[in-house]
Amino acid sequence: MNTTTAQPRGRNPRGQGEKLREEVVAAAIRMLEELADDQALSLRAVAREIGIATTSIYIHFADRDALVLASLQRAHSDLMDSVQRAAEEVADPVAKLRARTLVLGDWAYRHPGLYKVLHESTLNQRVDMSFKMVLGQQTTAAVRLCMDDGLVPAGDAAETSLDLRAAVHGAVSMRVNEPDLPWPPLEEQVDRFLIKLVGVSPSALQQASA
C-alpha cells in the first residue's frame, strides 16, 4: 500500500464516474488484502491511496461497509471466473471437480487477507453476502455430475459438496492462521478430501490429475 500522501487530482471528466468507482474498488481490494481486516480500512485512507477527496467516494458508496461489500463481490467474481476457466480446460467430471477445488484452495492460500475478510469478518453478520452462494451451487453441480456419471457413489450432492467445501476452507484457514505448522502440499490434501469425502477412486483421481 502506498504510504505517501497522494496529491489530490482534478475531477474526472463527465462520463468517467464509473472509472473512478472502479479505481476506488481496486484500491480497496489491495488494501483489504494487506490489512486482512475490514474494520481497519477507512474511506479516508482509500481516498489518499488514489489521490482523491474522501467526499468523492461517497458519490459511489454510502459508507465503508458498502465499499467493502463491493470489493468482496469483485474479488469473489474474479475467483469464480478463475474456477470456471480451470474447469473448462478439462473434460472428465472428476477432473473438473478437482480443478475447481484446487483453484479455490490456491486462491484462498495466495490471498489470505481477502480470504479472512470474505469469510471471517463481522461483515458477514451485518450485510447480505448471498453472492457467495454461487460457489456452493456450482460445486454441488460438479459433484452431482460425477454422481450422475457413476464416477463417485450416489448420494446427496449438496451434502457432499458442503463437506468438501468445509474441509477445503478449514485447511486453508488453518494455513492462514497457523502458517508455521508443517503443512503438506495443499494439492495432496485436496486429493485426500476428494477420496474420503466425495468417494473418488484413487485410480480416477490419478487419471484426473494426469
Q: Is 5 left (phi over 0), alpha (psi -120 to 50) or beta?
A: beta
Strand, helix or coil for residue 29: helix
pLDDT band at 147 (very low <50, low <70, confident <90, very high): very high
What pLDDT score was predicted for residue 17? 78
CATH class of 72-208: mainly alpha
Note the pTM of the prediction, 2 decimals: 0.84
Residue 8 reports pLDDT greater than 80: no
Q: Taking the C-alpha atoms of 139, 144, 150 and 155 in order, what is their torsion angle to the nearest 10 degrees?
A: 110
Domains of the chain, by residue range, sit at 72-208
Lowest-confidence range among 39-48, 175-184, 186-195? Answer: 175-184
Segment 22-36 shows an average pLDDT of 96
Q: Taking the C-alpha atoms of 123, 175, 139 and 199 in order, what is their torsion angle to the nearest 10 degrees?
A: -150
How many percent of the chain have pLDDT more than 70?
Answer: 92
For the stretch 49-72, pLDDT in tens is 999 999 999 999 999 999 999 999
